[in-house]
Amino acid sequence: MEKKTYAPIVPELTKNAITVLERRYLKRDKEGKVLEAPVQMFRRVADTIAAADKKFDEKEDTTALAEEFYRMMTQLEFLPNSPTLMNAGRELGQLSACFVLPVGDSMEEIFDAVKFTALIHKSGGGTGFSFSRLRPANDVVLTTTGISSGPISFMRVFDVATETIKQGGTRRGANMGILRVDHPDIMDFIMCKADKKQLNNFNISVGLTEAFMKAVEKDENYDLVNPRDNQISGTLNARKVFNRIVTQAWENGEPGIVFLDRLNRDNPTPHVGQIESTNPCGEQPLLPYESCNLGSINLGKMVQNGKINWKRLGRVVQLAVHFLDNVVEVNNYPLPKIHEMTMGNRKIGLGVMGWADMLIALGVPYNTEEAVELAHKVMGFINEQGHAASRALAKSRGAFPNFKGSLYEKKGEPPLRNATVTTIAPTGTISIIANASSGVEPLFAISYVRQVMDNDILLEVHPLFEAMAKEKGFYSPELMQRIAEHGTLHGITEIPEEIRNVFVTAHDITPEVHIRMQAAFQKFTDNAVSKTVNFAKSASIQDVTRVYELAYKLDCKGVTIYRDGSRDHQVLSVGKKEETEAGAAQGKPATKRERPKVLKGWTYQMQTGCGPLYVTVNEDENGLFELFTTMGKAGGCAASQSEAIGRMVSLAWRSGLQARQVIKQLQGISCHSPSGFGENKVLSCADAVAKAIQAHVAANGGKVQHVKRVFLKGACPDCGGIVEHEGGCMVCRLCGYSECA
């Protein structure tokens, strides 16, 4: 019988999508030259994943299935998680996005976990940990008669390992660190990222229990438990701890929260183990040593003629479940224990992207009751069809090995091939490839400006809005520019009201609506929902408190919030009211601050190899303004160079750069004549200036205010492009950069 051949489908990829694919996904040779086109990547993935069917029937011809997988991906209806696109059919063969590793309470177990983390990050995966098993700081260590340094000190070890590993490869490693709220070190954990100088390769979340939340409601004390011996070691007021979590999240977006008891309530295999942690973005609870394989359906592609194409959506769900189960089968797992645990439960996580696009295509505003009801209907359908597809696979291939004793068996449900089927993940770079809105988030921007490498300024407009604007006759480049500057359609009266209502952005939507939408999807999702609740910069701590309490009330499994402007590298700003920032967005230098007649200052004496160096730091009402240096002995090369450094630092601060950026550039520069030893060692005059600035910031509690130099709608550290906060992660919509892998 002649083998059937199929004509290739050329996907309609945007320039951004092609850029992302070329930089991060397509095969390259040793010199970095791209060896495959996007269609070849999709063919490579489709053929590799379809070939898994031969494991169950050696004689089966998988050509037709590979073609369906190929068409589904090239038509951008479904895409698997990034490692599958990168590695399927290649030597590495590691296809999972997320893993959870245990961290035991011994030096051997801790450093085994560090080693395993390195192997996973090297292979392109992200890792989640619970540090709740570690005894608290200053607790007894019987084997050495010493004292424990506690969970946070060991988190720093994992952080340094991640920082080292991520310097190479196509995908950055990321971590989730979770500590139970009843751990004795919980207050230190809540504050561990307050100075923003450490644990930058971690997202952190506090594991809240039902007992704790009930104590919060009653304003009662709760017990702290030492994991070394499970003995009560103290008490704290639950309301005060909750308020500290909320306040710190308001300050800089972390820690998030996860409701541990809810994760374990829905743990399908409690007889195998308890869930302690999640993957880096929080949507995938996993047992120790488990991995999960994710993929997302592009809901924007499921609308035809103003209606949802339920038939096609159902077929894509069936194909996607088949695809993801095959991924479990052909995956090259980084550790034997991970292979064993993953094959025992065969968890997959089918989610969605393009939710905002679907709503727009249907004419339904995101912030309406109709949208919430539609979320129930769409995700309910996907979950039902997904479980049906998993049951069908179980009939032909067998149930997941741990089915006996699972919650499904106890409820009398038919066997499933996969212990979990659905997950709402942040879609990050795959939504860029699909030219879709991220996950279940609202639109981030309608129109924005970006600067390309040759300094040309390009205006990017959401394709659905551009098409509608042209159809309705109100499109003009000038109007699109105004929208980019304004950041929202709100208040632009020449745009019809019904269109303004449909094209709402993340900051047009109240935090309560964000949570209600998350809860709607959570109701029909096996695992959890990754979503960022956006707050305006002016939001109060009480606003955040209300959202956390609402998330608990609506049965969410966790919450990640982001208040505009709450991080040092904050990149969101809109409107002509911030002319300095808008100018920066368009490639223009930020406006330099004028010097007032009177400034307050501090002078620090630093010992250098050339003699004492006096560093004076002056501030205006907005923060750091200028820096002067004076050598103990006048004249000479060192004095002139130090004066030049002071002038450049002053110019940088007056133009909006931050202390940490200046420190980073100066710190560690060495000369022929260093001074001092150990922590007091000064390598050069430039290094001395950096240390003086550090001392000044520390003396001010690390909270010296700085004038922002930000980019309209975001600034990626790789390309300067638009950046979104999604599921606790920063993602560039232009080049695919991701803070969290």
> Do the beta carbons of residue 587 and residue 727 sit within 8 Å?
no
User: Is 361 contained in some domain?
Assistant: yes
Report the pLDDT value the prediction gives residue 347, as an integer from 0 to 100. Answer: 98
User: Is 336 contained in some domain?
Assistant: yes
Catalogue the active-site residues: 279, 281, 283
Mention every residue, 6+ apart, whose C-beta is less than 8 A from residue 396.
Answer: 56
User: Is residue 126 domain-shared with residue 210, that is, in the same domain?
Assistant: yes
Report the pLDDT value the prediction gives residue 714, as an integer from 0 to 100. Answer: 44
User: Is 680 contained in some domain?
Assistant: yes
User: Is residue 225 domain-shared with residue 104, that is, in the same domain?
Assistant: yes
Domain extent, residue 250, equals 98-278
User: Is residue 376 domain-shared with residue 393, that is, in the same domain?
Assistant: yes
Report the pLDDT value the prediction gives residue 6, as an integer from 0 to 100. Answer: 57
> Do the beta carbons of residue 476 and residue 543 sit within 8 Å?
no
Report the pLDDT value the prediction gives residue 454, as an integer from 0 to 100. Answer: 43
Peptide bond into 255 cis (omega under 30): yes
Report the pLDDT value the prediction gives residue 589, as an integer from 0 to 100. Answer: 42
How many domains does the chain fold into? Answer: 3
The one-character DSSP state at 148 is -
The residues facing 630 across adjacent strands are 614
> Do the beta carbons of residue 272 and residue 550 sit within 8 Å?
no
Report the pLDDT value the prediction gives residue 334, as an integer from 0 to 100. Answer: 94
Q: Is the pTM of this model over 0.85?
A: no
Query: How are beta strands 221-226 and 231-237 bridged, if at all?
Result: antiparallel
For 632, list phi and psi in degrees, rounded to 5: -60, -30
User: Is residue 187 domain-shared with residue 321, that is, in the same domain?
Assistant: no
Report the pLDDT value the prediction gives residue 727, as an integer from 0 to 100. Answer: 66
Residue with tokens 């004793």: 405
User: Is 48 contained in some domain?
Assistant: yes
Q: In the listed set 223, 243, 278, which residue is the last one of a domain according to the structure?
A: 278
pLDDT along the chain (741 residues), means of 10: 56 87 91 93 98 94 96 97 95 93 95 94 90 93 75 94 69 85 97 87 96 98 97 97 97 95 98 96 96 96 97 98 98 96 98 97 97 98 98 97 97 97 93 94 83 55 90 90 84 90 92 97 97 92 96 96 71 36 39 76 86 88 86 68 88 83 85 75 89 86 42 51 69 70 57
Q: Is the dihedral of CA 634, 635, 639, 640 positive or negative?
A: positive
Report the pLDDT value the prediction gives residue 372, as an integer from 0 to 100. Answer: 98
User: Is 226 contained in some domain?
Assistant: yes
CATH number for 166: 3.20.70.20
User: Is residue 158 domain-shared with residue 206, that is, in the same domain?
Assistant: yes
Query: How are beta strands 78-80 and 291-298 bridged, if at all?
Result: antiparallel
* Consecutive H or E run containing 714: none
User: Is residue 195 domain-shared with residue 269, that is, in the same domain?
Assistant: yes
User: Is 738 contained in some domain?
Assistant: no
Side-chain half-sphere CA neighbours of 299 within 13 A: 29
User: Is residue 184 domain-shared with residue 61, that is, in the same domain?
Assistant: no
Report the pLDDT value the prediction gives residue 125, as an integer from 0 to 100. Answer: 87
User: Is 441 contained in some domain?
Assistant: no
User: Is residue 57 domain-shared with residue 165, that is, in the same domain?
Assistant: no
Count of CB atoms situated within 10 Å of the CB of 102 = 18
Quickly list DSSP for 33-60.
-B---HHHHHHHHHHHHHGGGGGT-TT-
3-state class percentages of the chain: helix first, strand second, coil last, to nearest 5: 40, 20, 40
User: Is 199 contained in some domain?
Assistant: yes
